[in-house]
Chains A and B, each alone.
Chain A
Amino acid sequence: MADSAARHLRTYGQIAWLWIRAAWQYPTSFVMLAVGNGLITGLDFVGLWIMFTHLQDLGGFTLREVALLYGSSSLALGLADTVIGSVERIGTYVRTGRLDQMMTKPVPLLVQVCADQFTLRRLGRLTQASVVFGWACTGVDWTPLRVLVAVSMLVSGAMIFFGLFVGFACLQFWTQDTDQLANAFTYGGATITQYPLRIFPREIMVGLTFVVPVAFANWYPCLYLLGRDDPFGTPDAFQLASPLAAVLTVAAALLVWRSGVRHYTSTGS
């Protein structure tokens, strides 16, 4: 089990590497893409920053605290987005018959789809998010446990976004026009988590905890890092529950994926 997982990971790396190598045939366009991506996502944070020139705080959170939320969510999203590669385009793969081709290869379908057309265009977002997150970290009163929570937050966050991308992409096994709907949930959820959940109605918090569990990607662990009480009065245990939420999300996504593959009907020629 662990053995085959390691092997798939290696295959993933090898395929991804080939795509990176291929992209380097056109280094300027590669660099432009990455820089462009960094600039566009950078504007998000500039927006926040400008907002703070008029505000003292946002729902009781200072700029640097909001930066912690923003940075961790953006970093996790960027990681997941890099790893999943082309999953969101699975509908196209179905339509063009590419998926049929992949199904005849001895590598699990999900590994192939994720590695296909692997690109580092998210490098821009990752760099920008790292800078913001790094700065925000200077405001945290670090303890060993908080370091652990911070690391697990990033890993869990990436896993949660990964699960959401994969899970929603599976809808395209049944109907192929749902890619935008899928993105609306994942990117929409991600955008909301860049702000303190406190400023939204309670229903949003409930939705992002139990339905599209992105609150575990940053909100709950960040409360722990900042030593804050939960403004909604959610139990403290939630602040340490990110790994559990991540494992559940990924497991659910893999189940949906399997079911999607078994119901896959290919396309008539």
Chain B
Amino acid sequence: MSQQTHQPLIEVHDLERTFDVRRRVEGRRRRVREQVRAVHDLTFAVQRGEMVGYIGPNGAGKSTTIKMLTGILVPTGGELRVAGLDPSRDRVELARRIGVVFGQRSTLWWDLPLIDSFELLQKMYRIPPSRYRENLDRFVEILDLGAQLDTPVRQLSLGQRMRGDITAALLHDPEVLYLDEPTIGLDVISKGRLREFLRSLNTERGTTLVLTTHDLQDIEALCERVIVIDHGTSVYDGTLAGLHAQGGSTRTLVVDLVDEAPPIDVPGADVRRVEGPRQWLSFPTDASAAPIVAAVASAYDVADLSIQEPDIEDVIRDLYSREA
């Protein structure tokens, strides 16, 4: 048992998945077959209780990875273990222990009232009735679905449907929850509420979360750790803070001078922009701001100072462009 706690919940080693696709090519009558490498040379491990952000641009291979982790797709190469099981071979057994939410595709039954979908899931997962009631009551309350239970799913708003889907994925107390683009299309308030809920799920129940998204605010709000994937393989795996450093990104010191002046000249920082008395200086993220601030303040008449943290979108864009 103690061994089990040390073993990662998810282990991925040199994972690969290719697809044969037929493509129409200009000037040829028949479509040509070609291979798309959706995922390749992918290696990582996730411990129990982690919240991992799995990010990358469209077509990077995020969904393909999730489909292999859940056993939907059989890998074409490499190794893969989730909770000690081989997902595609032991798919039905594994299903009991995981929850999956695909943002764009509902798991709920379109024509049935929401509550019927939940009841169907209770039967499928054979959730003990008392546990089912307990979970249902709790999620319905937190996610505020009480008024929608008797509404057919097709009449729900996107946000309501997503909350329904999340409830559906959690009724059986999964050890890990995969969320593929869960906030896509949601309004700001729904997004905020959802993030808060996911955070509490992780702290209170220890549910492991793997979240794919291209909304970086999801990541900043939830994940300590990020895996960045591009063209099918991981280009960064580590803390969110480390990502900033890795990206070679810079922080910005915004200086409001009392009077207009030529570009400020201090060691360790470069002026990026001048607009009247306001100047923008950039310096490396891992350098300390204090000596730069001191140097500026001693040489110039400063009205105000502020420091801007790097935008993670820029960091990642930077990472991609260096990869390419």
Residues of A that sit less than 8 Å from B by CB = 11, 14-15, 18, 22, 96-98, 100-101, 103-108, 112, 262-266, 268-269
CB distance from A115 to the nearest CB of B (A): 9
Interface string of B90-122 (1 = CB under 8 A from A): 011101101010101111000110001001110
The answer on a CB contact under 8 Å between B72 and A266 is yes
The answer on a CB contact under 8 Å between B105 and A96 is yes
A144 to B93, CA, bound (A): 45
Q: Which of B38-89 contact A (CB under 8 A)?
A: 63, 67, 70-74, 88
A96 to B70, CA, bound (A): 18
A107 to B123, CA, bound (A): 10
**Taking CB as reference atom, which chain B residue is nearest A7?**
B126
Q: Does B125 have its Cβ within 8 Å of any Cβ on chain A?
A: yes
The answer on a CB contact under 8 Å between B112 and A100 is no
The answer on a CB contact under 8 Å between B73 and A266 is yes
Interface size in chain B (residues, C-beta < 8 A): 31
Q: Does B197 have its Cβ within 8 Å of any Cβ on chain A?
A: no
The answer on a CB contact under 8 Å between A22 and B116 is yes
CB distance from B20 to the nearest CB of A (A): 8
Given contacts A100-B72, A104-B95, are A15 and B120 in contact (CB under 8 A)?
yes
A7 to B92, CA, bound (A): 13
The answer on a CB contact under 8 Å between B92 and A101 is no
Which B residues are in CB contact (< 8 Å) with A18?
112, 116, 119-120, 123
Identify whether the interface residues of B are mostly helix, strand, loop, or mixed.
Answer: mixed
**Taking CB as reference atom, which chain A residue is nearest B172?**
A106
Which A residues are in CB contact (< 8 Å) with B120?
15, 18
The answer on a CB contact under 8 Å between A14 and B100 is no
Name 18 A/B residue pairs within 8 A (Cβ), A-sorted: A18-B119, A96-B105, A97-B105, A98-B105, A101-B100, A101-B106, A103-B70, A103-B71, A103-B72, A104-B72, A104-B100, A104-B107, A105-B124, A106-B95, A106-B125, A264-B72, A265-B73, A269-B104
Which B residues are in CB contact (< 8 Å) with A103?
70-72, 91, 95
CB distance from B122 to the nearest CB of A (A): 9
Q: Does B19 have its Cβ within 8 Å of any Cβ on chain A?
A: yes
Which B residues are in CB contact (< 8 Å) with A101?
100, 102, 105-107
**Taking CB as reference atom, which chain A residue is nearest B63?**
A269
A269 to B95, CA, bound (A): 22
A107 to B67, CA, bound (A): 17
